[in-house]
Chains A and B, each alone.
Chain A
Amino acid sequence: MEELDFGLTMTLMGMGVTFGTLLILIGIITLLARLFPYKKEAEKSKEGN
């Protein structure tokens, strides 16, 4: 029973943390993409440098 509790805690917390963190990262990436959109000319000049 104790091992079952341990397994359940680990699963719920582990999957929760993993899903939660990745959802936060999705939000951050989306925000970054809006703040710094891809601009063809700007990227080209950066690559040129």
Chain B
Amino acid sequence: MDLFNSALQALTQGFAAITWQAAVMVGIGCVLLFLAVVKKIEPMLLVPIGFGIILGNLPLAHLAAQDEGGIINLIYNAGILTEIFPCLLFVGLGAMIDFGPLLANPSVLIFGAAGQFGIFLTLFLALALGFSRESAISIAVIGACDGPTAIYVASKYARDLLPAISIAAYSYMSLVPIIQPPIMRALTTKKERATLMAYGEKKVSKTVKILFPVICAVVTILIAPMGAPLMGMLMLGNFLKESGVVGRLVDVSENMLANIVTLFLGLSIGASMLGGNFLRWETILIFILGAVAISLDTVAGVLLGKLMRVITKGKVNPLLGAAGTSAFPMSARVVQREGQKANPRSFLLFHAIGANTGGQIGSVMAAAAMLAIMAALG
């Protein structure tokens, strides 16, 4: 009978050890899987994150990112804590991005700077709410609308907030089509939104396309060396693509490498979201601040767009400013859709893609500048 009891106890110890926080997290993991599988929302990311949450929160499984020696702990230590995953993702991203629209119309690059304004205003808010400088910076970078950059900064300065920050960053990237349109409509008149912009894909020479990633990497890294890993990898990926001589490396970068890293990154981030450290007031604040950051990015971008419209005497559609975030290509699509709603003859996609890729560069520059200043301040 004792033997039976011991066996029964051994087989039920998992159930006995589960806490209410772990149960809630398993529920959250299931919700993410539901959103990914049934609603098709960011499945590439939500499936590994959702499954990672479930695995990480099951008691005695030793699968949390924090469980020393566990398989996910090894992945987490090797890829997240060393900051390798976000950098490798940037190689893939660089190989996917076409800077052609930006090179054809370089003035839209300025929207890529305005699109980062929310980062800095959110920094103030986070500081005012009592977050430490390191945490405030990491939270503010959610406003970059750029998952890998947010993970890179948070893994440097706020590892305890990393799960919440990465989930918020990726969630808001996919929520851009819901967050941006009301702000764009509120800040512009229908006449402004209906502004027609000259359409016609200006061609750029292959030489310019090849030289741009090299020169951009050199200039930006010389200005802000702290952002070198991100910018260097982004431009490496783009150079592979534009050079036209390493098709196999481009294929590997934009497919296999990006997919493998996304899988391991999602899994280890998910498995780091334990009930005890995720279900707290700070997490809710981080999500609120992230939404504020992205909203402020849109506000700053659209306001700059309005200014550009005045300066150019009506040649720039102010909606373009909203594409200055690095939520690529979601922001550009939102701009195109809103522009066409106001004027069916409007075709802003080419310009918006340019501003959107500019936002990609702008977000890395903003993060690099913050890292450099933090390093300087000790």
Question: Residues of A at under 8 Å CB distance from B?
Answer: 3-4, 6-7, 9-11, 13-15, 17-26, 28-30, 32-33, 36-40, 42-43, 46
Contact = CB atoms under 8 A, between A and B. Distances in A.
B366 A18 contact: yes
Contact of A6 (B133, B204, B220, B358): B133
**SS of B interface (majority):** helix
Interface in B214-242: 215-216, 219-220, 223-224
Interface in B312-357: none
30 contacts: A4-B127, A7-B120, A7-B136, A10-B120, A10-B123, A11-B120, A14-B366, A14-B373, A15-B113, A15-B366, A17-B372, A18-B362, A18-B366, A18-B369, A19-B110, A21-B365, A22-B109, A24-B219, A25-B216, A25-B361, A29-B106, A29-B208, A29-B212, A32-B103, A33-B208, A36-B211, A38-B202, A38-B205, A39-B205, A43-B203
A25 to B, nearest CB: 6
B40 interface: no
Given A14-B373, A18-B366, A33 B204 contact: yes
A10 B205 contact: no
B120 A32 contact: no
Contacts of B123: 7, 10-11
B377 interface: yes
Interface residues of B, number: 46
B109 A25 contact: yes
Per CB-CB distance, the 9 closest pairs between chain A and chain B, nearest first, are: A17-B369, A29-B106, A11-B120, A36-B207, A38-B203, A14-B369, A19-B113, A38-B205, A26-B106
